[in-house]
Amino acid sequence: MRCYGVQGSEEEGLIVEHAPDVLRVATAFVNAYILGTAEGWILVDTGLPGAAPLIRRGVAARFGSSARPLAIVLTHGHFDHAGNADALALEWDVPILAHPLEMPYLIGRSDYPPIDSTMGGAIAVMARTFSRRGRKLAAQVLPLSGDTVPGAPEWRWIHTPGHTHGHVSLFRESDRTLIAGDALITMDMDSWTEQVQRTPEPSLSPSAAERAAAASRSAASRKPLRRWMT
């Protein structure tokens, strides 16, 4: 596991290669991923608004300051995953790819439905304050098609609806790695302290995670996942 960023700096531990050619950029409670090699790579999700400089530093550390991806792929369009998509896509002059069912929220046609007010847990309570407004992005937004990921031939995208209608996860068969966006959770969502401490104890949300796991199992010929990340 290789870490990028200056040791002892506030960025230490935020940019980490967790699997071959899978670089995670941690932005508070949300991650972005740089997938691929210098010959071709994509950015998956873009973190919280304001995280663009950290993502740029991750890209520069990995591939050099002039590198740019072949595309930005969004697991879904919530502000904490798509927060910098428009700015980075315009800066790099690359398209944003998302599931067709997620497109209405990215091209200004629809707002997300309200959060289920009966749901408990720290994040669920906090999420009631999050904006559910759809946005009209200025960058080019294109629908994913087939099951391969343009710019990342090792990866397939899997429709994992539940968290949003058009949520997708990315799966790499060669080492059975799954990038699951918000379809899986990796901390106790009922605990406020874990949101801060980020205890690395995997846990599953009861609905979306089951769908994601079922989808990934069928995609993975029912073999267990070797590694999964959110």
**Residues interacting with Zn ion, by CB under 5 A?**
78, 182
The DSSP output letter for 67 is -
Which candidate, 87, 48, 95, places its Cα nearest to that of 69?
A: 95
Nearest CB to Zn ion, comparing residues 86 and 182 = 182
Nearer to Zn ion, 114 or 224 (CB): 114
Least separation in angstroms between residue 76's CB and Zn ion is 6
Q: Minimum Å distance from CB 140 to Zn ion?
A: 22
The least distance separating Zn ion from the CB of residue 2, rounded to whole angstroms, comes to 28
Which amino acid appears at position 19 of this protein?
Answer: A
Q: Which is nearer to Zn ion, 9 or 117 (CB)?
A: 117
Of all residues in this chain, which one has the CB nearest to Zn ion in the complex?
78
Q: CB 29 → Zn ion: shortest distance, Å? A: 11
- Radius of gyration (C-alpha) of the chain in whole angstroms: 17
CA dist 7 → 4, 11, 12, 65, 127 (Å): 8, 8, 5, 20, 33
For 179-209, give one letter per residue: b (16+ CB within 10 A) or e: bbbbbbbbbbbebeebbeeeeeeeeebeebb
Match 């996860």 to its residue by tokens.
Answer: 169
Smallest distance from the beta carbon of 181 to Zn ion, in angstroms?
A: 7
Closer of 154 and 182 to Zn ion (Cβ): 182
Residue 82 or 144: which CB sits closer to Zn ion? 82
